[in-house]
Structures are given as structure tokens and as C-alpha cells.
Amino acid sequence: MVHRMKMLAFASAGAAATSYLQWNAFLEPDVTLVPIDIAGRGTRSSEPFSENMDALMTDIEKQTEKALAGDTAFACFGHSFGCDIIFELVTRRIAAGKPLPSHLFLFGNTPPFSLKRRMKIAHLPDAEFMKAMEFFGGIDAQLYRFPDILRYFRNIMRADMRLVEEYEDRDHLLPQQKWDIPLSIFCGKDDNTFDHVLLQDWKQCTSAHCSFYEMEGGHFFLNDHAEEIAEIILQTQNRLHQKEMRHVG
């Protein structure tokens, strides 16, 4: 029998998690990536944006339960802002006594309690805001040729950056008790959006094993390494399944 596992995917600010659906070509049948789009993005583009992180997480919890559909074995995959969402989701599920993910695959971000000195940009005028967003990469220059499309995506990015900045302004604490969840941490070698030394702070979140992977590229490095990362995910899932079978035996 093939052991299948759902992997809930959370995207970076301004992006739709449905963009990761193409990864299933490398993951299935052992792992099925299930995108969790937040309100106003992707498949939920007609819905109003969440006003703050608390409202967003309440919505995320509902979307998570819907996606799991009663399954208790699942993993999480998050890029950039998606890592913040996963941190909050795990915290809330612990408090609620709900099943936790068996593994976290985290890309391009440090934990929320790490020291961050990112410039606040959500309030900037349109042109300055877009210039600041270019620092992260991932913006197609062709976008500027189509004002209506540019406006649409700019509104999404600005709404997400408001959430990011409001969240990063909070006084975040270490988990009261370390999670028993293994973590796989990935970063782009040339990603200059955070201090890479701070990636080690993820070790403070869990009593389980942390693996670290550095790959060529910037903040959106994972888009160029989908097949390679998928292979790591499959190997990790296979080790987890073998461990579970030993416990059953």
C-alpha cells in the first residue's frame, strides 16, 4: 500500500498558494500538496482581505480543517509569510489540542521571535511601494506594461505587507513548550531579505530534528528548485513512514 500524506501549502505575501499545485507532478502519489489560499488571493480573489493577523488566522484555521477533511496525518509547507502563518497555526492547534503536522517545510524566513529590521513599506505611495517590493524579487517587469493588472496585484501585495508588518510589530515569544515536530529549513544562497544566521533560531522551536538546506538563488529560489525540493520532501516523508511502521511493529 502506498502511504499518502497531505501537505498544506502557504504562500508568500502577494502570492497564491495555488501556484504550487504544479509541484504535485513531482510529489504524487506519496504526497499531495494542498494549497491554502487566504482571502483575496488565488481561488478566493473575490473575497475581501483580512483586516489583521487574528482575523486571517481564524480564517486559516477554518480552511485548514476543510482541507484536512478529518485526516490527522499531514505536513505543512510555507514560503516567507507562509512561515509566519504556519508558526501561528501550530501554536493555535497546540492550544486547541488538535493533531499537529508531522513535519514542517519552511522556506525563506526566520521564526517570528527573531530580530528583524525590515523597512516598513505598506504605507508608501504606489511607485515607491513597488520599488521596495522589487527588493524581494519575483516581480515580472512585464507587469508594468498593464496598469489594470499592476493595480490588482499591487493591492494584494500592499494588503499582505500590512499583515506582515502588523505581525512583525508584535512581541513574539518562544513556544511555551518546544514542539515535537521535525523541521526542514530552506533558503536561497543570495536571499538578502534576512540574516541567514537567524535561521538557526528555528531550533529553539522544536525538540525534534532540524535540517538546513541552502540552494542557489534569491528569495524566490524555490521556484527554480521544485523537483530537487520535492525529492527532499519525498525522502523525508518516506523516513517518517518507516519510523511510524517500526513503532506499529
Q: What is the pLDDT of residues 193-240, one digit of tens each?
A: 999 999 999 999 999 999 999 999 999 999 999 999 999 999 999 887
Q: Taking the chain, what is the end-to-end CA distance rounded to the nearest angstrom?
A: 16
Asked if residue 74 lies in contact with residue 98, where contact means CB atoms within 8 angstroms, the answer is no
- pLDDT value of position 188: 98
Rounded to two decimals, what is the model's pTM?
Answer: 0.93
Q: How far apart are CA 193 and CA 86, in angstroms?
A: 19
* Per-10-residue mean pLDDT, the chain, length 249: 81 94 96 95 92 96 95 94 97 96 97 82 95 88 92 94 90 87 98 94 97 97 97 92 64
Which set of grid coordinates corresponds to residue 92? Answer: 493555535
- pLDDT value of position 90: 98
- pLDDT value of position 1: 36
Asked if residue 143 lies in contact with residue 115, where contact means CB atoms within 8 angstroms, the answer is no
- pLDDT value of position 242: 74
Q: What is the pLDDT of residues 31-46, one digit of tens each?
A: 999 999 999 998 999 9
Q: How far apart are CA 191 and CA 215, in angstroms?
A: 10
- pLDDT value of position 70: 87
Delineate the domains of the chain, giving CATH numbers in brackets: 5-248 (3.40.50.1820)
- pLDDT value of position 229: 98
Which set of grid coordinates corresponds to residue 140? Answer: 515580472
Q: Minimal CA–CA distance to 163: which of 38, 49, 14, 53?
A: 53
Asked if residue 189 lies in contact with residue 161, where contact means CB atoms within 8 angstroms, the answer is no
- pLDDT value of position 28: 94
Q: How far apart are CA 159 and CA 152, in angstroms?
A: 11
Q: How far apart are CA 8 and CA 118, in angstroms?
A: 27
Q: Which 8-state DSSP code applies to residue 225?
A: -
